[in-house]
């Protein structure tokens, strides 16, 4: 039996419903966040909670529970569902707006699903990506607006790629659901600094990398990608995943690079200390 939390109560699967007048359904107006559990323990929960409440505030969305209450509900959900390796999604919507436009008190939802992370083989070969000129609206906010990300999936599949990296004015920013890093030919780690969602995994990787090599948060230009020694993405559901082909051009020797491997190992160690 899988439980979801909706507003003030836990709902069994299939009974986790909200009314159709919500602004998320009518206007795509809602924020969310998404974190992992390992052995029934949430990973980096405080970071995710903080970002969730920041996103809500930025969109004038009222979350009907405070951060401490949300935290308590999350632990109850984990206890009820007992899905040791999972992803938990928190959503706060614009609510049942009488005028179908102006946010009111939001609906609040917690969902938990089993989560499978990329396997070793995927890490070794890495993934192919394409690039696309695009800039998300209000990129620092984790809104539910994935219109372009989802719409672009057709193009991604046609190109036999696994994901799409956004850029604008020749500067790369992010994937729809992940951040990007490059290792320069000079052995420096660089990651875009603006017009993107500040990923929690991104933040942890920057912390870890500081002990290994010089780290630069700065504008990263499109040509730097294909000339990089290594490229990888970071995200909650992928941890660290090598990118070995960009728009048909092989990166490095086409497999997971040494810096990516080292960071991945360090990240797994950091995870182990947390849970």
The residues of the shown chain that bind a second copy, judged by CB under 8 A, are: 4, 6, 14, 16-30, 32, 59-60, 89, 91, 93-94, 100-103, 109, 111, 113, 137-138, 143-151, 153-154
Contacts of 102 (CB under 8 A, 6+ apart): none
What is the C-alpha separation between 203 and 6, in angstroms, rounded? 30
Q: How far is the CB of 234 from a second copy (least distance, A)?
A: 18
What is the C-alpha separation between 10 and 43, in angstroms, rounded? 22
Mode of pairing for the β-strands spanning 127-133 and 163-168? parallel
Q: How far is the CB of 190 from a second copy (least distance, A)?
A: 28
Q: Which CB, 170 or 250, lies closer to a second copy?
A: 170
Residue pair 86/114 in contact (Cβ under 8 Å)? The answer is yes
Q: Which CB, 52 or 267, lies closer to a second copy?
A: 52
Q: Is 51 helix (H, G, I), strand (E, B) or coil?
A: helix
Q: How far is the CB of 22 from a second copy (least distance, A)?
A: 8
Q: How far is the CB of 70 from a second copy (least distance, A)?
A: 16
Q: Which CB, 14 or 223, lies closer to a second copy?
A: 14
Q: Which CB, 57 or 268, lies closer to a second copy?
A: 57
What is the C-alpha separation between 177 and 199, in angstroms, rounded? 9
Q: How far is the CB of 132 from a second copy (least distance, A)?
A: 12
Q: Which CB, 174 or 230, lies closer to a second copy?
A: 174
Cα–Cα distances in Å, from 32 out to 47, 59, 67, 130? 13, 11, 14, 26
């Amino acid at each position: 039996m899988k439980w979801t939390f909706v507003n003030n109560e836990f709902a069994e699967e299939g009974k986790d419903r909200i009314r159709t007048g919500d602004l998320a359904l009518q206007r795509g107006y809602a924020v969310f966040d998404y974190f992992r559990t390992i052995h029934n323990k949430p990973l980096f929960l405080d970071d995710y909670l903080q970002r969730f409440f920041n996103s809500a505030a930025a969109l004038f969305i009222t979350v009907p529970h405070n951060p401490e209450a949300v935290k308590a509900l999350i632990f109850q959900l984990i206890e009820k569902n007992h899905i040791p390796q999972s992803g938990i999604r928190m959503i706060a919507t614009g609510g049942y707006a009488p005028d179908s436009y102006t946010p009111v008190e939001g609906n609040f939802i917690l969902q938990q699903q089993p989560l499978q992370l990329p396997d070793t083989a995927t890490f070794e070969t890495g993934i192919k990506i394409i690039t696309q000129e695009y800039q998300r609206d209000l990129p620092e906010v984790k809104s539910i607006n994935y219109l372009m990300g989802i719409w672009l999936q057709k193009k991604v599949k046609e190109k036999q790629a696994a994901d799409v990296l956004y850029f604008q004015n020749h500067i790369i920013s992010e994937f729809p659901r992940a951040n990007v890093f490059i290792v320069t030919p000079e052995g420096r780690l660089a990651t875009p600094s603006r017009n993107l969602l500040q990923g929690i995994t991104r933040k942890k990787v920057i912390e870890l990398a500081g002990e290994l090599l010089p780290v630069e948060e700065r504008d990263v230009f499109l040509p730097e990608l294909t000339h990089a020694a290594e490229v990888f993405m970071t995200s909650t559901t992928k941890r660290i995943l090598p990118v070995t082909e960009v728009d048909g051009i092989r990166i490095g020797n086409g497999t997971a690079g040494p810096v990516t491997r080292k960071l991945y190992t360090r990240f797994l160690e950091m995870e182990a200390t947390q849970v």
